[in-house]
Amino acid sequence: MTSALYAWEPYIQAFVELSDVPVTKPSIRPGPLAGLTVGVKDIIDVAGLPTRNGSAVCADAMPAEHDAVVVERLRAAGAQIVGKTTTTEFAFTDPTPCHNPHDLSRSPGGSSSGSGAAVGAGVVDIALGTQTAGSLIRPAAYCGAVGFKPSAGLFPMGGVTPLARSFDTVGIIARDVSLGQRAARVLAPAATMGALNAPRVACGLWDTKAEVSPDWLQALDDARGALGTLSGVTEIVLPADVGSVVSAHRCVMCAEAFAAHHALLDDKAQMLKPNFRAGMEAGRDLDKTTLSEARTLLTGARTAFWDAMRGTDLILTLPVPDGAPLIDGTTGFQDWLTPWTVFGGPLVCLPWGIDTLLRPRSVMLAAHPGQDLFLLEMAARLEHHAPRLSAPRLPR
């Protein structure tokens, strides 16, 4: 694992800080994650390493005194922390220097850029990321990894730098679903399994103007056929006004980002990257009525969505409409993921072969809030039917 990490790192720039403990040293702690290596997004505290939040304003940060709760639980289960992975500034949307291991000219996504790239390159088994809009599932999808965003509130947030507390969620990027299941049981030991007998499955996309790649539509169709061997599948159009939800989400996100980090605009604004600074300024300038209306809209949309899904246990969809974009100053398309984050249920994205441009494809499963272990088990069953995704090759 050490040789792979050091071979890949000059190309993908997935890490901003490495642990002092050699990765080749066996874990001295027994446990369900013994021997597994973990990367940690650099907004999550790791004792002995600085948390710089992907920002120049934190360049001189002192090492954290304590692990974040999620890191503490992984260590206690025997996992070995390799280091801190690259993140966009304060988990917002400014791109990072990180590259996609499957094609170095393409974005790994964001904001959990390094976590997706590190797992996608095979240099760690698991990585922690966070999602406030699409920040965990998208890098996993673009980099050919499994991504698991749990139900809102399932994983503890202590020791994690906030962006927007109403939406911030720690999640897992892993080489396969089995590793995601093992890590999830460690991070949420009280979670319980729902019934698996003949789950009611729906398949569909949001009704938006996004142009969907034929390759990705084929992946969805193939996954639907595979799920059909496990359970009946009903075709639907996902019931939400995505544009309204995305707009309201941005209002709340920017307002909460400003509330958490307003001091940065007072004396360090010139050090902030443009997207994060603009988001903070938008949050500062937002009037109370608009913010209240945005919160009300999101609450209503969440209730209406799950009411409409009352007869469905599992939803099959796509996380994004196309593969990883060329590095172009963005972190990719996230509008399809934002409603899912707002609605608070668990998500799993699965690699599903490659498209005609040799980019990883991905499909996604969603379930009702609280049905995390059920969702992971169904993802494990679907994974058996997924076309193989070859490991990326080091440049020569």
E strand intervals along 279-389: 314-317, 347-354, 360-367
Distance CA 44, CA 329 (A): 24
Of 149, 90, 133, 143, give the one whose Cα is nearest residue 113: 143
Is 27 in the active site?
A: no
Distance CA 382, CA 376 (A): 10
Query: Of the listed 55, 107, 113, 135, which one is catalytic?
Result: 135
Distant-in-sequence, close-in-space partners of 10: CB < 8 Å, separation ≥ 6? none
Token pair 């304060």: residue: 90
DSSP state string for 79-124: -EEEEEEP--GGGSS---S--BTTBTTB---SSSHHHHHHHHHTS-
Asked whether 61 and 52 are in contact (CB, 8 A), the reply is yes
Distant-in-sequence, close-in-space partners of 366: CB < 8 Å, separation ≥ 6? 314, 315, 317, 340, 345, 346, 347, 348, 375
Asked whether 142 and 24 are in contact (CB, 8 A), the reply is no
Q: Cβ of 332: how many Cβ atoms within 10 Å?
A: 23
DSSP state string for 340-359: HHHHT--EEEEEEEE-TTSP
E strand intervals along the chain: 15-18, 37-41, 80-85, 126-131, 146-149, 169-174, 201-203, 233-235, 314-317, 347-354, 360-367
Distance CA 359, CA 324 (A): 7
Query: Of the listed 111, 112, 166, 213, which one is catalytic?
Result: 111
Distant-in-sequence, close-in-space partners of 169: CB < 8 Å, separation ≥ 6? 130, 131, 132, 136, 149, 150, 152, 155, 341
Is 135 in the active site?
A: yes
Distance CA 318, CA 58 (A): 36
Is 41 in the active site?
A: yes
Helix (H) or strand (E) holding 373: helix 372-383
Q: Which residues are catalytic?
A: 41, 111, 135
